[in-house]
A and B are shown apart, each in its own frame.
Chain A
Amino acid sequence: MHTHPLIGALVEDLPSSPRRMSEQIRFRVGISTVLVGSVFYGLYGLRGDGIAALGDVRFLFKLSLLLALILALWPVLHRAAGPIAVKPRDLRLLGWAALYWLAMIGGEAMLLPRGEWNRALMGENGIFCLTVMPLIGLPLLAAMLVTLRGGAPEGAVASGAVAGFFCASVAGLIYAVHCPDDSPFFVVFWYGAVAIALTVMGALSGRLLLRW
Chain B
Amino acid sequence: MDALKGRDEQLSAWMRAANRGDQDAYRSLLSALLPILREIAVKSLARVGAATVDSEDVVQEIMLAIHMRRHTWDESAMVMPWVYGIARHKIIDALRRRGRRLEVPLDEFEEIIEAPVGREGLSEQELVRFVHRLGDRQRTIVLAVSVEGLSIRDAAQRLGISEGTARVTLHRGLKTLARIYGSER
**Contacts from A to B (Cβ < 8 Å):** 1-22, 24, 78, 81-85, 151-152, 154, 211-212
One of B1-9, B41-49, B62-70 contacting the partner = B62-70
Determine the main DSSP class of B at the interface with A: helix
Name B1-59 residues within 8 Å CB distance of A.
18-19, 21, 23, 26-27, 30-31, 34, 59
Contact-residue bracket for chain B:
35 or more
Q: Tell me if A13 and B170 are in contact (CB < 8 A).
A: yes
**Would you give the shortest CB distance from A32 to chain B, in whole angstroms?**
20
Q: Which residue of A lies closest to B30 (CB)?
A: A7
Please measure, in the bound complex, the distance between the C-alpha atom of A11 and the C-alpha atom of B25, giving whole angstroms: 9
Query: Which of B26, B30, B71 has the most chain A CB atoms inside 10 A of its CB?
Result: B71
Q: Tell me if A11 and B60 are in contact (CB < 8 A).
A: no
Q: Which 8 A-B pairs have the closest CB atoms?
A: A83-B85, A9-B146, A152-B69, A5-B146, A84-B85, A18-B71, A8-B146, A10-B67
Q: Which A residues touch B115, using CB under 8 A? A: none
Q: Which residue of B lies closest to A152 (CB)?
A: B69
Please measure, in the bound complex, the distance between the C-alpha atom of A160 and the C-alpha atom of B182, giving whole angstroms: 19
Please measure, in the bound complex, the distance between the C-alpha atom of A124 and the C-alpha atom of B119, giving whole angstroms: 72
**Contacts from B to A (Cβ < 8 Å):** 18-19, 21, 23, 26-27, 30-31, 34, 59-60, 63-65, 67, 69-75, 81-82, 85-86, 88-89, 120-124, 127, 130, 142, 145-147, 149, 151-152, 167, 170-171, 173-174, 182-183
Determine the main DSSP class of A at the interface with B: loop
Please name 29 pairs of A and B residues whose Cβ atoms are closer than 8 Å in the assembled complex, sorted by A.
A1-B120, A2-B120, A2-B121, A2-B122, A3-B31, A3-B34, A4-B59, A4-B123, A5-B123, A5-B124, A5-B149, A6-B130, A9-B173, A10-B26, A10-B67, A11-B23, A12-B145, A13-B170, A14-B21, A14-B26, A15-B21, A17-B19, A17-B70, A20-B71, A78-B74, A83-B85, A84-B82, A152-B85, A212-B182
Q: Tell me if B89 and A17 are in contact (CB < 8 A).
A: no
20 further A-B contacts with Cβ under 8 Å, apart from A6-B123, A83-B82, are A2-B121, A2-B122, A4-B30, A4-B60, A4-B122, A6-B60, A6-B63, A6-B130, A9-B145, A9-B146, A10-B67, A11-B23, A14-B21, A15-B21, A21-B72, A82-B72, A152-B65, A152-B86, A154-B85, A212-B183
Q: Tell me if A19 and B71 are in contact (CB < 8 A).
A: yes
Please measure, in the bound complex, the distance between the C-alpha atom of A24 and the C-alpha atom of B74, giving whole angstroms: 13
Please measure, in the bound complex, the distance between the C-alpha atom of A83 and the C-alpha atom of B123, giving whole angstroms: 27
Q: Which A residues touch B72, using CB under 8 A? A: 21, 81-83, 151-152
